[in-house]
Amino acid sequence: MHPVRSRSAFTLIELLVVIAIIAILIGLLLPAVQKVREAAARMQCGNNLKQIGLGCQTYHDTVGFLPPSRIADHYATWATLILPYIEQDNGFKLWTLTNQYYQQPLTAQQLQVKTFFCPSRRTLGALSTSGDNPDNGFPAAQHYPGALSDYAGVSGNAGSYPGANPTWYDGPFGNGTIIGADACTNSTAARIASFRGLVPLTAVIDGTSNTFLVGEKQVPRASLGVGVGDGSIFNGDHEWNYCRWVGPGNGLSTGPTDTTSWTIRFGGSHTNIVMFVFCDGSVKAVSTSTDTTTLGNLATRLGGEVVSLP
């Protein structure tokens, strides 16, 4: 009597069935993994904005006003000024605030700050590829690559109180919270050395919980690092790189591929929402379908509106 031999291999049909089952499981798991990753990225983005908001508040508590969008044309921005308050004091010490961005050492221009990057869009290491050129020809008309950011200050709804001079939307008469310092109107060496911001929290008449401070700025995937909208976050030469406005005529971008007026708009890489930190330090996800009147009301600090997000 011969012993019974056991099978030592799968048949072709059994192997195909196993492969099919594995493929189905991968197909089911992949969307779930992507959702988990996006949820984690969205949480990190919110944490970044929370840290930026706290940095702005601590800066305010130290000097008596919110960080200005820029000290003056060509000089340091709000992102430079809050560095000591987001655990980047060593990076801040690289800067000489009485010098233009273009006169700073390379290490200051290209300082990488993880808090300034949304992981849904990019990671550390990116520099501007164009656009950081001095428009006054000083010190030399060339590109000075600088560090980037996925966040921008909210300068208002492009309106002004009580007038507009200069006419930049982040000018010192802007109606938002992140606007130019007093030195913007008279950029003498003495005025720059003793600059002051123009927005204490007491000037946020609409309420700190109802007023935007900083939000995700729109940068289409094809325009990452392009310096008309995504130039160095530290360069106060071109306002569209470090602050934006929102309101009637300028809503939120709908997603990472939306190129409509992207250089002045807020927008993120999250599905159907854009993240903002408010003046009270709270972080909220704002629907991309929010009407522009509501957005404009949230962007202004003393319009007297009663605002509620949907």
**How confident is the model over 73-127, as pLDDT tens digits?**
999 999 999 999 999 999 999 999 999 999 999 999 999 999 999 999 998 898 9
Q: Greater confidence, 160 or 260?
A: 260
Confidence of residue 27 (pLDDT cuts 50, 70, 90): confident
Question: Count H helices, E strands: the chain?
Answer: 6, 5
In a domain, 1, yes or no: no
User: What separation in angstroms does the CA of 183 have from each of 72, 189, 275?
Assistant: 6, 9, 30
In a domain, 5, yes or no: no
In a domain, 218, yes or no: yes
In a domain, 91, yes or no: yes
pLDDT at 285 over 90: yes
CA-closest candidate to residue 180, choices 201, 195, 158, 159: 195
Q: Are 231 and 77 in contact (CB under 8 A)?
A: no
In a domain, 88, yes or no: yes
Confidence of residue 139 (pLDDT cuts 50, 70, 90): confident
Task: State pLDDT tens for residues 209-237.
Answer: 999 999 999 999 999 999 889 999 999 99
Q: For 14, how many CA atoms within 13 A lie in the half-sphere containing its CB?
A: 4
266 phi, psi to nearest 5 deg: -95, 145
Beta-sheet pairing, 283-287 with 243-244? unpaired
Give the count of beta carbons closer than 10 Å to the beta carbon of residue 97. Answer: 14
* Total structural domains within the chain: 1
In a domain, 232, yes or no: yes
Amino acid (1-letter code) at residue 128: S
In a domain, 89, yes or no: yes
Q: Which residues contact 306 (CB under 8 A, 6 or more apart)?
A: none
- Report how far residue 103's alpha carbon sits from residue 27's, in angstroms, rounded to the nearest whole number: 53
Give the range of the structural domain holding residue 168, as residue numbers without chain letter. Answer: 12-299
Q: Tell which phi-psi region holds residue 284, choosing left (phi > 0), alpha (psi between -120 and 50) or beta.
A: beta
Sheet holding 273-278: strands in order across?
243-244, 151-154, 212-216, 273-278, 283-287
CA-closest candidate to residue 210, choices 100, 301, 140, 134: 301
Confidence of residue 29 (pLDDT cuts 50, 70, 90): low
pLDDT at 255 over 70: yes
- Report how far residue 81's alpha carbon sits from residue 70's, in angstroms, rounded to the nearest whole number: 9
In a domain, 62, yes or no: yes
- Report how far residue 264's alpha carbon sits from residue 149's, in angstroms, rounded to the nearest whole number: 15
Confidence of residue 137 (pLDDT cuts 50, 70, 90): confident
